[in-house]
Structure 1
Amino acid sequence: MTKPTLFTFWAGRASPYQTLCIASWVAHGYDVVVYTADTDIKVPPGARQRPAEDVLDLGGHIHRYKNGFGAGSPSLHSNLFRYRLVERGDWWLDTDVVMLRSDLPETDFFLARQVNKNSLGIGIMRLPAQSPVIRDAIREVEAVIDKAEWGQTGPDLITRLVEKYGLAHKVYDRRTAYEIDYTEAIKLFDPDARREVEDRVASSLFVHLWNEIWNAIGFPQDLGPPEGSYLDGLVERFGSRGMFPARIPFASVRTWWDNREHRVRLARELREARSQAAPSPSFSFSYSYRTGAQG
């Protein structure tokens, strides 16, 4: 049976890690098409580049989140773009997804649960052409595109619509694609956690690298992963160590991760404190004037 074509979208400068992910799809024998608005982007050998306008023509405009987590990220645009592609019945993969095996299921429906069983991942998707789930998703994204918040147009939306149309029974187990959750993405960098990660994804089709978390902690994606880490193994398998001029020690990644955790905790405590605070006192002033009074 002919293998299906895999599609994705990329905006901006691609790091070696995006190249690594796409190269893993090609390595498993799949035809790969990368849609982009950037003419100078380099795709790995075996992948094809196509203009993004073929799917979503916005005159070069890229939708980005404006507030909160992910502010400035083109992931908002990617969500609308992916739904336009999936509406055609095609496979969609995010550019921070590594393919571990070549035996994709012969199905027109692929969504997998994340660690939170009430949430579906959208990093890897396929639904039947003209699916009502995707039809509704496109309509809802377009309605909130100027004020959308992270998650609103992605997993939360698709999870709700899959439930609405009674398709939850078709969803794949999290081990298929999201065994390593974004809350433990640091294990991908930790040499001491490599065996644990390898064991947990041994039967997985994919592993999601959670690029937005990397951005949130400030990981410089032009540099290589810590030596001996699970990511290091992926570089050896699908790329080469020559992809990077230098490596980041795990101690630095650990510090960046802890700093983000500290910032998130402080922000949560601040929100809780404000929600519990007594309302600010209100003041009213009145003035009396005497007619004819002289100053």
Structure 2
Amino acid sequence: MTLYSYYPVYNIPEGVFLADADLIVPQEMTQHFIFNDAPDLGHFSDFFRYCMIQKTQKIWVDLDMLFLSTPYMGPCGNIVVKEQQGSVNGAILSITLPSVVDELISRSIALMDKKLRWGETGPLLLDSVFSNNKYVNKISSEIYYPIDHLNIYRVFLPEEMEWCERNTSQAAALHLFNNILNKIGYWKNIAPPEGSYLHNILRNINALEFFENVYPDYIIRNIINNYNLRLNGEDLGIKNIVKQILPSMYRTYTHYRPT
């Protein structure tokens, strides 16, 4: 396994080879993929993976992918996987057709220095390229994305253990959706609670030693409940209260002000 980085990394696991990312794409290119008016590493990483596949013919795997069994490859060595919602997710990606890789790279280059929509160099581009490609069979989400982003919080809850085991029974890997964990507010230096699906997986592969502590189950439950409240629009935090009060005050003022 190869880890690409623009900087030294000193704590990589045994068996992982560190490689210079500059050999794939010069670091200054990180500044040319603009999202929300700023350079965005997420969209740059889409471009990087296409270039890596072109130059090395390796399989790209995001760092938030957790393998549960031997990787499964489609016909001809392709790994192109649909999420449960139907879009192609590039968290794991292998493409053996040079013409397809060339198209992904050229279309990504055409988007440089432009204001990007979310996923424009990733899922949206992959969907566009593969929608009419009869030579690449898409792998079912059950293999690599058995738990979708809306349900990934379940891997941290002991009471969801059976649900997680049932939904990953045919899976080769689990996508942990790092962006969702950030939104949840999960501290990644602390291991999931004992009895949770993810805790058991990490224990079985002797990975708990990489964490500083273990979340108490009631703490993670409160964190996830707060996240779900925010997600469902039921959060009554001060910011949301202010957002509701100020328009109301303005409407009251304009209605009753002297003419």
TM-score (norm: length of structure 2): 0.80
**Candidates 52, 58, 65, aligned match of 1:97:** 65
Distance, in Å, in 1 between the alignment partners of 2:229 and 2:32 is: 30
Query: What is the 5 A alignment of 1:107-146?
Result: 107-117=76-86, 119-132=87-100, 134-146=101-113
Q: Which moved more, 1:247-256 or 1:94-103?
A: 247-256
By how many angstroms is 1:123 displaced?
Answer: 1.0
Within the alignment, does 1:232 sit opposite 2:183 as a pair?
Answer: no
Cα separation, partners in 2 of 1:154 and 1:203, compared to 1, 3 Å: same
TM-score (norm: length of structure 1): 0.71
**Candidates 46, 51, 69, aligned match of 1:79:** 46
Query: What is the 5 A alignment of 1:122-271?
Result: 122-132=90-100, 134-146=101-113, 147-167=115-135, 170-266=137-233
Report Cα offsets for 1:121-175 as digits up to 9, x if no partner. Answer: 211111115132x22222222232442232221112101210133346x111111
User: What is the identity, as a one-letter code, of the residue corresponding to 1:113?
Assistant: K
How many residue pairs align between the two structures? Answer: 233
Cα separation, partners in 2 of 1:241 and 1:108, compared to 1, 3 Å: closer
Distance, in Å, in 2 between the alignment partners of 1:232 and 1:265 is: 27
By how many angstroms is 1:265 displaced?
Answer: 4.2
Distance, in Å, in 2 between the alignment partners of 1:237 and 1:63 is: 41
By how many angstroms is 1:62 displaced?
Answer: 5.7
Cα separation, partners in 2 of 1:35 and 1:162, compared to 1, 3 Å: same
Cα separation, partners in 2 of 1:51 and 1:241, compared to 1, 3 Å: same
Which residue is equivalent to 1:52?
Answer: 21
Q: Is the 8 A contact 2:157 2:196 kept in 1?
A: yes
Distance, in Å, in 1 between the alignment partners of 2:40 and 2:10 is: 18
Q: Is the 8 A contact 2:69 2:171 kept in 1?
A: yes
- Secondary structure of 2:191's counterpart equals coil
Moved beyond 6 Å, runs of 4+: none
Cα separation, partners in 2 of 1:166 and 1:107, compared to 1, 3 Å: closer
Distance, in Å, in 1 between the alignment partners of 2:213 and 2:110 is: 44
Q: Is the 8 A contact 1:108 1:126 kept in 2?
A: yes
Distance, in Å, in 1 between the alignment partners of 2:58 and 2:162 is: 34
RMSD: 2.7
Which residue is equivalent to 2:6?
Answer: 37
Distance, in Å, in 2 between the alignment partners of 1:191 and 1:56 is: 42
Distance, in Å, in 2 between the alignment partners of 1:65 and 1:190 is: 36
Q: Is the 8 A contact 1:63 1:76 kept in 2?
A: no
User: What is the identity, as a one-letter code, of the residue corresponding to 1:212?
Assistant: N
Which residue is equivalent to 1:12?
Answer: none
Q: Is the 8 A contact 2:161 2:196 kept in 1?
A: yes
Q: Is the 8 A contact 2:33 2:111 kept in 1?
A: no
Cα separation, partners in 2 of 1:65 and 1:206, compared to 1, 3 Å: farther
